[in-house]
Amino acid sequence: MHDLAQWEAQVVAGADLVGRAGARDFEIGYLHDDVPVEEAAWWAAAHYQGARLQVDNQPSPAHAAHALAVRVLSGAACKCGELVALNDDAEGCRWRLVQPGGPQTARWQSSCDAPAIEMKAGQRGDMAAMNQAMDARRQQGPNRAQRRAQEKAQRRGKDYLGPLDPANDPRPGRWHG
């Protein structure tokens, strides 16, 4: 027996995340009829400004939504400017699937206290507009999560480069404008 409330919570949390990330739509489905749920080959997809992002061959709708959320978050920049970290061992701003009030309230949430980036109508998913909003945020100075990252880097003896931007991002091709 499957925990349908838990599955529904993970699907809703995945759909909410891709919407907050600027997706135009979210789809979920399966390839095979008349088979057990685990063998139906579930998929999830979202459209971002003409590009389709998809995950395939998942054992359940919850797994498909979760895999798509992980794909959206992998390599992304958090609203605080740090890279998104999906486990405690990775450097960056830690993101988790949380359920503060039970399965009905499940959502992907960052560990930082940075306020949401304010985007004008029609600019969701527009990388140039997001970079512009992030630049404006950087000019305000570091937030608590960034100050903690600076202190952590100093304790490790590393130079802290600050929030990632095109000038100091070591990953070529990451920023598009």
Q: Quick check: is 162 in a domain? A: no
Q: Which residue has the higher pLDDT, 9 or 140?
A: 9
* Domain that includes residue 48, residue range: 4-156
State pLDDT tens for residues 109-163: 898 887 777 666 555 556 676 667 667 666 666 666 667 777 777 777 655 445 5
Report residue 164 as tokens: 């990632």
Report residue 37 as tokens: 């749920």
* φ and ψ of 16, to 5 deg: -60, -45
90: Cβ contacts below 8 Å, ≥ 6 apart: none
Q: Quick check: is 9 in a domain? A: yes
Q: Quick check: is 30 in a domain? A: yes
Q: Quick check: is 127 in a domain? A: yes
Q: Quick check: is 166 in a domain? A: no
Q: Quick check: is 134 in a domain? A: yes
Give 13-81 as a 3 state SS string. HHHHHHHHCCCCEEEEEECCCCCCHHHCCEEEEEEECCEEEEEEEECCHHHHHHHHHHHHHCCCECCCC
Q: Quick check: is 164 in a domain? A: no
Instruction: Please say whether the beta carbons of 93 and 99 come within 8 A.
Output: no
Which H or E run contains 148? helix 144-156
Number of domains in the chain: 1
Task: Report, as an integer, the average pLDDT of 160-174.
Answer: 49
At residue 148, the pLDDT reads: 76
Q: Quick check: is 10 in a domain? A: yes
- Beta-bridge partner residues of 59: none
